[in-house]
Chain A
Amino acid sequence: MTFAALALIIAAALAGAPLFAVLMAGAMLGFYSAEIPLSVIAIEVYRIVDTPLLVALPLFTYSGYVLAEAKTSERLVNLVQSLFGSLPSGLAMVGFVACALFTALTGASGVTIVALGALLLPALKQAGYSDKFSLGLVTTSGSLGLLLVPSVPLILYGIVAQQLEVGEPFTITDLFIAGVMPLMLMLSLLVIWTLWHHRGGKIPRIPFSGATFWSALKAARWELPLPFVVLGGIYSGFLAISEAAAVTAVYVTLVEVVLYREIPLKKLPEVMIESMVMVGGILLVLGVALAFTNYLVDAEIPQALFEFMQTHVQSALGFLLLLNMLLLVLGAMLDIFSALVIVVPLILPVAAGYGIHPVHLGIVFLANMQIGYFTPPVGMNLFIASYRFKKPLLELYSACLPFMLVLLVALLLITYVPWFSLAFID
């Protein structure tokens, strides 16, 4: 009976049933066979109300949608280009930096490729970069910035991991600080590779112009304080994450609706609804996942998994290597939210058993997912880019490959040198 129900749930999952329904079915089946009253599901979902951190999610997502709707991406590219454009391979660096910032602000939902890619791709080609390089850059950079505050997956990992209460205790700010250096590492390696790839001055440099810089700066004057409010407020500890989210939401609305007037007031409800549908989907899955996780912990499944792993893999390093391979495959198949709520509750207790710090695991996990976004054959960003730029998937596979190799090197370093993630954490 239980077996048949399990088979049905798996079949529904494979057929593409919504994740919340699949997790709910799993949790209900578990609670039912443990003879726990099923109204526990409602109690668990209601715990959304007891998680103050979650307030940040709708607020940041809304802000991201507003920014994506306005011409923020254009001003961002112009500004960063006027700054870095004069350096060798300057525009490529512009691409990396702008994409990372934009992804952090908007969440890695493909918005970066749609909004920034459309600007960057023609600009890159015009500046003399090859088709293949330009395409690879905009596709792979669409998930760069996943490790930077206030990226939604980063916040979600914190919520799920703290829920589990295993391994060393950490604050959500620890997690935010931990993401900075690994992101810098990725950016540095990408820049080094880009410079080497275009060595010998193949790409003409645009001389720095004070006037251009000034006008780009002036155009972006209202949005410029934003990164400082968000990053500065959170990293300095002056604002709690949900407070920073509230300030951001008000500020962004004021700037885009009143000051730039790029979003008419009449259009605002539409943007709100669009963003809240996304949030509703994520939070419902999270709420149900909390119940599912609770069942897993009750049933001592992570422990069993750990004991099984320990008979086969002795060292933490071996475990991490295995984990990387598993996550790369999963990252390409599952979207990041599914992976977060299903995989983290299973692997975090195991990782903690090997003495791996939960913050380090989170960074490794997200770095894997970031690469998963453009891992052939089914990484989500490949489809978005293929659709957006009207390029066949095969062309995108080969365009992304070198970037993927560079980021894999970064991933290996992040995985095996915990220092990158933990250097600034007590």
Chain B
Amino acid sequence: MIDPLVRLLRFIEDSILVSSLTVMIGLAAYQVIARNFFDTGILWGDSVVRVLVLWITFAGATVASRNDEHIRMDLLARYVKPSSQVLLVRFRCLFTALLAATFTWFSLEFVLLDYEDGVKAFGDVPAWICEAVMPVGGAVIAFRYLLHTFFPPAQVSE
């Protein structure tokens, strides 16, 4: 039941990452050439590129959640005996899932507020479209870590 959903999710995340980066590289490079050699440039070009950074951040972070590959401090885990490892993993994944869920909630509040007020990010583009990646990404991360809590991923030791 859950498998096709996860696969679809993966495909969407991968697509967002690849297309965001491709557009970003193309647009940023075009701006450099246009600005330095022809003294022009797309007015909203830099804004789009910066919003894409946010999109990449959240798409990349959700992909990193697939196998629990986020940056961590990991001071204790090394010294815990393997039999207790699973418990430790469950604990930290539940903690992360709860935090991501909280973030989803409050960023949703932020997005809805901008939606109601009709705030524009740049040009005619409403801000909520740019911001929506935060609650969506947060929700996916929360979902992934909830899964990890119940089905702890195999531990990759360094």
Which residues of A does B touch, CB under 8 Å?
A: 8, 11-22, 24-25, 28, 38-39, 41-43, 45-46, 48-52, 54-55, 57-59, 62, 238-239, 242-243, 245-247, 249-250, 253, 269, 272-273, 276-285, 287, 333-335, 337-338, 378, 380, 383-384, 387
A277 in complex: contacting residue of B60, B103, B113, CB < 8 Å: B60
Closest Cβ neighbor of A245 among chain B residues: B28
Q: B56 touching A24 by the CB < 8 A rule?
A: no
Q: B88 touching A15 by the CB < 8 A rule?
A: yes
A280 in complex: contacting residue of B46, B49, B59, B103, CB < 8 Å: B59
**Which chain B residues (70-113) contact chain A, with CB distance < 8 Å?**
70-78, 88-89, 91-93, 95-96, 99-100, 102-103, 106-107, 109-111, 113
B73 in complex: contacting residue of A28, A54, A273, A334, CB < 8 Å: A334
Some 21 contacts from A to B, beta carbons below 8 A apart, are A12-B96, A16-B89, A18-B92, A22-B73, A24-B102, A39-B107, A42-B103, A42-B106, A48-B50, A50-B50, A51-B50, A243-B31, A246-B28, A246-B31, A249-B29, A269-B18, A272-B21, A276-B56, A280-B64, A284-B58, A387-B158
Q: B21 touching A62 by the CB < 8 A rule?
A: yes
Q: A250 touching B61 by the CB < 8 A rule?
A: no
Q: A276 touching B92 by the CB < 8 A rule?
A: no
The verdict on A52 contacting B46 (CB below 8 Å), with A58-B21, A279-B57 known, is: yes
Q: B28 touching A242 by the CB < 8 A rule?
A: yes
Q: A39 touching B88 by the CB < 8 A rule?
A: no
Give, as a whole number of angstroms, the nearest-CB distance from A274 to chain B: 9
Residues of B contacting A284 in the complex (Cβ-Cβ under 8 angstroms): 57-58, 60-61, 70
Residues of A contacting B74 in the complex (Cβ-Cβ under 8 angstroms): 16
Known interface pairs A49-B54, A279-B60, A284-B60; 14 further A-B residue pairs with C-beta atoms within 8 A, sorted by A's residue number: A15-B95, A16-B76, A18-B70, A39-B107, A50-B50, A59-B28, A243-B32, A246-B28, A247-B29, A250-B26, A276-B59, A280-B59, A333-B73, A333-B75
B92 in complex: contacting residue of A16, A41, A45, A49, CB < 8 Å: A16
A28 to B101, CA, bound (A): 13
Q: A15 touching B92 by the CB < 8 A rule?
A: yes
Closest Cβ neighbor of A382 among chain B residues: B158
Give, as a whole number of angstroms, the nearest-CB distance from B122 to chain A: 10
Q: B72 touching A19 by the CB < 8 A rule?
A: yes
Give, as a whole number of angstroms, the nearest-CB distance from B66 to chain A: 9
The verdict on A276 contacting B60 (CB below 8 Å), with A48-B53, A49-B51 known, is: yes
Closest Cβ neighbor of B33 among chain A residues: A247
Q: B24 touching A59 by the CB < 8 A rule?
A: yes
Q: B88 touching A19 by the CB < 8 A rule?
A: no
Q: A54 touching B61 by the CB < 8 A rule?
A: no
Closest Cβ neighbor of B30 among chain A residues: A246
Residues of B contacting A378 in the complex (Cβ-Cβ under 8 angstroms): 78
Q: A280 touching B110 by the CB < 8 A rule?
A: no
Residues of A contacting B91 in the complex (Cβ-Cβ under 8 angstroms): 11-12, 15
Q: A46 touching B134 by the CB < 8 A rule?
A: yes
Closest Cβ neighbor of A58 among chain B residues: B56
Q: B49 touching A272 by the CB < 8 A rule?
A: no
A282 to B53, CA, bound (A): 12
**Which chain B residues (114-139) contact chain A, with CB distance < 8 Å?**
130-131, 134
Residues of B contacting A287 in the complex (Cβ-Cβ under 8 angstroms): 57
The verdict on A338 contacting B60 (CB below 8 Å), with A242-B28, A276-B21 known, is: no
Q: A273 touching B18 by the CB < 8 A rule?
A: yes
Give, as a whole number of angstroms, the nearest-CB distance from B119 to chain A: 11
Give, as a whole number of angstroms, the nearest-CB distance from A158 to chain B: 16
A276 to B29, CA, bound (A): 18
Residues of B contacting A380 in the complex (Cβ-Cβ under 8 angstroms): 158
Q: Which of B14, B62, B99, B158 has the most CB of A within 10 A?
A: B99
A16 to B86, CA, bound (A): 12
Q: A335 touching B131 by the CB < 8 A rule?
A: no
Q: A277 touching B50 by the CB < 8 A rule?
A: no
Q: A12 touching B92 by the CB < 8 A rule?
A: yes
Residues of A contacting B99 in the complex (Cβ-Cβ under 8 angstroms): 21, 24-25, 28
The verdict on A281 contacting B29 (CB below 8 Å), with A18-B96, A39-B107 known, is: no
Give, as a whole number of angstroms, the nearest-CB distance from B32 to chain A: 5
A253 to B21, CA, bound (A): 12
Q: A12 touching B102 by the CB < 8 A rule?
A: no
Q: A283 touching B78 by the CB < 8 A rule?
A: no
